[in-house]
Amino acid sequence: MKAGTTLIHLNQDAEGFIRMKRHFPGSSAVTITFSDGSQEEFSGRRLNAIYDEALAVYRAENQLDAKGFARGPKKKVQPGIEFVRVHPGMGQ
């Protein structure tokens, strides 16, 4: 690990998700322990990209615009995502 990087540890739940409510610093090192006991190190930049992809899918499935707003008759801010599905091999 390079000097000045942050090491974050996350655990995958039984359904295959990690809790991630926001972006991590791009230079951080994030170690995920998967439900099978294996571990993989991700860069913050890679996890942020996975989060952005999951958020885009969530917004598309719920007919929300790019900022997360429903542009119908009722203008209400929709909640974002809190959990992101991950699996071994996604760190590359």
pLDDT higher than threshold 70 for residue 62: yes
pLDDT higher than threshold 90 for residue 39: yes
pTM of the model: 0.77
Integer angstrom CA distances of residue 89 from 32, 39, 46:
11, 10, 12
**Entry field: residues in the chain:** 92
| Cα distance between residue 53 and residue 11, in whole Å | 20
Name the DSSP class of 79: P
What are the domain boundaries of the chain?
A: 7-85
Q: Which amino acid is at 34?
A: F
- The residue assigned the tokens 């590359």 is 92
Indicate if the alpha-carbon torsion angle 44, 49, 54, 59 is positive or negative: positive
Q: What percent of the chain has pLDDT over 90?
A: 46
